[in-house]
Chains A and B, each alone.
Chain A
Amino acid sequence: MSLSKALSSDGKILTIQIKGKFDFNLVQLFRQAYADIGNSTDKVEIDLRETDYMDSSALGMLLNMKKTLGSSVDSIRISNCQPQLKKILQISRFDKKFDID
């Protein structure tokens, strides 16, 4: 379980990548990852390519982020989901609030 973040070359896209397990153990780290987001960043991408597990606490954290960032970013994309995690996001109707790739 770990979290890493990276800014794109032009500074516009913040990518947060979560490895292994996405659950309440990451609550602080996850919040910090987007806490100091700059004005020039208009997109956040949550890259779940290496995320094997998530539960409802992860969903809560994502919604929390959405609430905190509000309109300061244009979009929040959840990308590279493994099929089972995509199903969880769909069951939770996250496609209504997030851009799921």
Chain B
Amino acid sequence: MRILVVDDQKLNRDLLKIMLEQQHYDVVTACNGIEALEVLDSGPVDIVLLDVIMPEMDGYETAPKIKQRSKDVYLPIIFITSLDDKESFERCLALGGDDFIHKPFDKIILTAKIKAHSRTRKLSLEAQKQNRLLEYHNNQTEREHDIVEHIFNNALENQHDFPDNIDFHLSPASMFNGDVFLVAQSPIGSLYCMLGDFTGHGLAAAVGALPTSKVFYTMVNKGMAVSDIANEINTLLVKLLPGNMFCAATIIELSSSGKSVSAWLGGLPDAYVINQHGNVLKTLESQHMALGILETHEFERELIHFEVDSTMRVVLATDGIIETTNDKEEYFGEHRFIDLLAEKPSISCDDIIHHVTHFAQGEKQQDDLSIVLFNCLQIPQQKGEQESYSPLPFNMSLSLNSTQIKTTDPVLEIVDVLTRISGLRAHRSDIFLLLSEAYNNAVDHGLLGLDSDIKNQEDGFLEFYQQREAALNSLQGAMIIVDMRYCPTSLCLYFTICDSGNGHKSSASDGMSLSREHGRGISLLEEIAEHVTYNASGNQIEMCYKLT
């Protein structure tokens, strides 16, 4: 503790200095207010003993200036005075004085007063330190929240990409939302959405949304089934979340035609399918435990499937809506919710939230409120960009001997290599079909001489492939040559498949017949390819496939 003694009389200064130094205080002195302020400016002081009447700058003038210099921390000013009129006491207090000590000095009183004020000073210093720390942490938290908010906004970005199909409203009970709503479209055009409610609310509940969204988007991009997505997110959450946290969720997929819906329902309140008047056509009850509880091997993947049309809507909500309470502590409840849906045609999420908020009558929102209205409309498929075609003229050729024909199934591997050529990947299914039909014809009929009529008999299909396997096992001295050429100028692929067999008749002339299980291959091939020609002996086929 450092004490500043301000007095114009040397005797008083020395006396106080000695008395205080005996108590092990550090003492500095000044002769008037101006000097006192200089001392204060040059280093920290904890208590000021201030004489009232001094030349240059007296105590009355000095006290407010001292207080001004120490706004944040309590700096006690004890007036040294011989005055004892009430008026001057009041003046001292009004100008910032905290206490008085009378001349002549009483050692015991002085010590007691200094002790008391130094305690207060210490507390104030401590409080200031804690305030600074608190402020620092506040700023830190605010900055971190900003960053996290930014990440959340980016992670959950495409909720607004399908305004015709999806109307939704999310209102978190605190800054971060423990409810998560995700939307995405698969490459084949079906539209997926997931509404999830993590245990609790706020940041702790919201953190699970990030990894969940990542898995969701990745899997939708691959066009995976809803049951696979649910399973994958469950596996992730079981691993990540603490034991007392989980995520009640509904995941639905609307097929690209807009006609059918598959849904996985785990732990959210009932979802509804409603018609254009808002009447409930179907109630979708939760089927499973929430995500993040069951281990992968016990996870229940069962979905529900149902047909829909363009007038129907699926309504999803978290428990925040039905559990909203009013001032009479009544729940909003399922009945009010169902009635509300039918209150007017094509009700919007804003309408619903408006009603629920009105019902709550200013009661504080207890939980995150989320509602999704999913219109079962066919959705235009987002066109993937066609990769540019390679300008290089590629040639590829394979000669397969008996061993290779017996032990491999080369078509897919050839397709994989061929579709590395820029631009061909988009055609991989067609290329596979052409090669598969031509190659299998060469093997089945050219080399093995199998008769497709077997396929028409009861269980003939299986029989045919059993015969094929047996015949293939004893194959010797055979060969199949596959030639492929990519022409960048005509944008065509040319295939020649030649086998060492005795030639076989194509059954293409039979045309398309749904009643027979074979002969379809050649016709299909002729539809997909631009030209198909056979040589005279029937052991070679040439095909041209146009890429544009």
Q: Which residues of A contact B (CB under 8 A)?
A: 6-10, 13, 15, 17, 21, 23-25, 27-28, 31, 45, 47, 49-50, 52-57, 59-61, 63-64, 77, 79-85, 88, 91-93, 96-97, 101
Interface string of B493-517 (1 = CB under 8 A from A): 0000000000000000000101001
- Partner pick for A27 among B259, B303, B465, B512, CB 8 A cutoff: B465
Q: From B227, which residue of chain A is reached at the shortest CB distance? A: A6
Q: Whole-angstrom distance from the CB of B156 to the nearest CB of chain A?
A: 24
Task: Assess the A93–B225 pair: CB atoms within 8 A.
Answer: no
**Main SS of the interface on chain A?**
mixed
- Partner pick for B188 among A49, A53, A57, A61, CB 8 A cutoff: A49
- Partner pick for B305 among A27, A45, A61, CB 8 A cutoff: A45
A81 touching B188 in the complex, CB below 8 Å, given contacts A53-B412, A59-B520, A60-B520:
yes
Task: Assess the B512–A93 pair: CB atoms within 8 A.
Answer: yes
- Partner pick for B461 among A9, A25, A60, A81, CB 8 A cutoff: A60
- Partner pick for A53 among B255, B436, B520, B528, CB 8 A cutoff: B436
Task: Assess the B305–A82 pair: CB atoms within 8 A.
Answer: no
12 more A-B residue pairs beyond the given contacts A27-B462, A28-B462, with a C-beta to C-beta distance below 8 A:
A9-B304, A25-B409, A49-B186, A53-B412, A55-B521, A77-B260, A80-B188, A80-B190, A80-B256, A84-B430, A88-B433, A92-B524
Task: Assess the B514–A96 pair: CB atoms within 8 A.
Answer: yes
- Partner pick for A54 among B222, B255, B415, B433, CB 8 A cutoff: B433
Say if the beta carbon of B224 comes within 8 Å of chain A.
yes
Say if the beta carbon of B428 comes within 8 Å of chain A.
yes
Task: Assess the B302–A24 pair: CB atoms within 8 A.
Answer: no
Give the distance in Å from the alpha carbon of A56 to the alpha carbon of B188 in the complex.
Answer: 22
Q: Whole-angstrom distance from the CB of B387 to the nearest CB of chain A?
A: 15
Task: Assess the B225–A60 pair: CB atoms within 8 A.
Answer: no
Chain B residues with a Cβ closer than 8 Å to the other chain, count: 45
Q: Top 8 A-B pairs ranked by shortest CB distance?
A: A56-B521, A84-B429, A55-B436, A53-B432, A60-B517, A9-B302, A56-B520, A91-B527
Give the distance in Å from the alpha carbon of A49 to the alpha carbon of B262 in the complex.
Answer: 13
Task: Assess the A91–B224 pair: CB atoms within 8 A.
Answer: no
Note all chain A residues with C-beta closer than 8 A to B436. 23, 53, 55
Task: Assess the B260–A79 pair: CB atoms within 8 A.
Answer: yes
Say if the beta carbon of B169 comes within 8 Å of chain A.
no
Give the distance in Å from the alpha carbon of A57 to the alpha carbon of B464 in the complex.
Answer: 11
- Partner pick for B517 among A17, A21, A64, A97, CB 8 A cutoff: A64
Q: Which residues of B contact A (CB under 8 A)?
A: 186-188, 190, 222-225, 227, 255-257, 259-260, 287, 301-305, 409, 412, 415, 427-430, 432-433, 436-437, 440, 455, 461-462, 465, 512, 514, 517-518, 520-521, 524, 527-528
Could you name 7 residue pairs across A and B whose Cβ atoms are closer than 8 Å?
A50-B223, A61-B461, A80-B223, A84-B427, A84-B429, A91-B524, A97-B514
Give the distance in Å from the alpha carbon of A52 to the alpha carbon of B461 in the complex.
Answer: 23
- Partner pick for B462 among A31, A79, A97, CB 8 A cutoff: A31
Task: Assess the A49–B224 pair: CB atoms within 8 A.
Answer: yes
Give the distance in Å from the alpha carbon of A21 to the alpha carbon of B414 in the complex.
Answer: 14
Q: Whole-angstrom distance from the CB of B183 to the nearest CB of chain A?
A: 18
Q: Whole-angstrom distance from the CB of A19 to the nearest CB of chain B?
A: 10
- Partner pick for B429 among A7, A10, A52, A57, CB 8 A cutoff: A52
Q: From A63, which residue of chain B is reached at the shortest CB distance? A: B517
Q: From A59, which residue of chain B is reached at the shortest CB distance? A: B520
Give the distance in Å from the alpha carbon of A47 to the alpha carbon of B226 in the complex.
Answer: 12
Note all chain B residues with C-beta closer than 8 A to A49. 186, 188, 190, 223-225
- Interface-central residue, B430, B432, B455, B461, by most chain A CB under 10 Å: B461
Note all chain B residues with C-beta closer than 8 A to A23. 436
Note all chain A residues with C-beta closer than 8 A to B430. 84
Give the distance in Å from the alpha carbon of A8 to the alpha carbon of B514 in the complex.
Answer: 30
Task: Assess the B429–A91 pair: CB atoms within 8 A.
Answer: no
Note all chain A residues with C-beta closer than 8 A to B461. 27, 60-61, 64
Note all chain A residues with C-beta closer than 8 A to B305. 8, 13, 15, 45
Note all chain B residues with C-beta closer than 8 A to A91. 524, 527-528
Q: Whole-angstrom distance from the CB of B252 to the nearest CB of chain A?
A: 14
Task: Assess the A101–B520 pair: CB atoms within 8 A.
Answer: no
- Partner pick for B518 among A7, A9, A60, A101, CB 8 A cutoff: A60
Give the distance in Å from the alpha carbon of A48 to the alpha carbon of B260 in the complex.
Answer: 15
Note all chain B residues with C-beta closer than 8 A to A10. 304
